[in-house]
Amino acid sequence: MITRRELILSGAAGLLAATLPHEAPAADDPAGIVTAIYTRAAKGKGDSGGAFVFENKAAKANYLSKSLIALWAKADARTRKGDVGPVDFDPVTNSQDPDVKSFKVAVEKQEADKATIAVTIDGHQGSRTKPADGTIRYDFVRDAGQWKIDDIKGSVEGKPWSIRSLLVDSFKN
């Protein structure tokens, strides 16, 4: 038989468990994936950046499409030892010095097998000189049944860049 004390304690424990904050798992949809990336990038002082998305083969396999991984590997293979590769900045924060205070994710287009997600970031250091530089777009594709990033696009001082374009352009040198 349950005593009144056990009933109250179990009820309080259940109520406490329901009200404590839980980290939401990354959803298997483009907006959920991007939200999880920026939630991680904004933790602490927001200065750790998004290198975890592409820092090694396992990270790339987790986030990037097979075709983007292959293109990046081909570009890396052409990079001389000791030189910086064609992606010499943090595309997730569109910067050399990551600074993410807050972010807003918006689905611009989503179909059955591709999607474009826009993220607008604000930093602790204030607004960017060109407002467009604070928005990064992610092109997603379905790759082996999972959503994967197929390109990341942004602008610096109003001039557009794309990870795919940077990688392809590296072959021209």
**What whole-number distance in Å separates Cα of residue 20 and Cα of residue 42?**
20
Higher pLDDT, 42 or 127: 42
- d(CA 119, CA 33) in angstroms, rounded, equals 12
The mean pLDDT of 111-129, rounded to a whole number, is 90
Instruction: Return all residues near 123 (Cβ < 8 A) that are at least 6 apart.
Output: 46, 99, 100, 101
78 has a pLDDT exceeding 90: no
pLDDT (tens digit, 9 = 90+) per residue, 29-67?
Answer: 999 999 999 999 999 888 889 999 999 999 999 999 999
Domains (range + CATH), the chain: 23-172 (3.10.450)
For 133-166, the pLDDT digits (tens) are 999 999 999 999 999 999 999 999 989 999 999 9
DSSP H/E element including 107: strand 102-110
Question: In this model, does residue 12 exceed pLDDT 60?
Answer: no
Looking at residue 2, what is its pLDDT? Answer: 55
pLDDT in tens, 128-139: 778 889 999 999
In sequence order, the β-bridge partners of residue 142 are 147
Q: CA 115 → CA 2, 107, 139, 146, 155, distances in Å?
A: 53, 8, 6, 12, 19
57 burial type by CB count under 10 A (0-12 exposed, 13-18 middle, 19+ buried): exposed
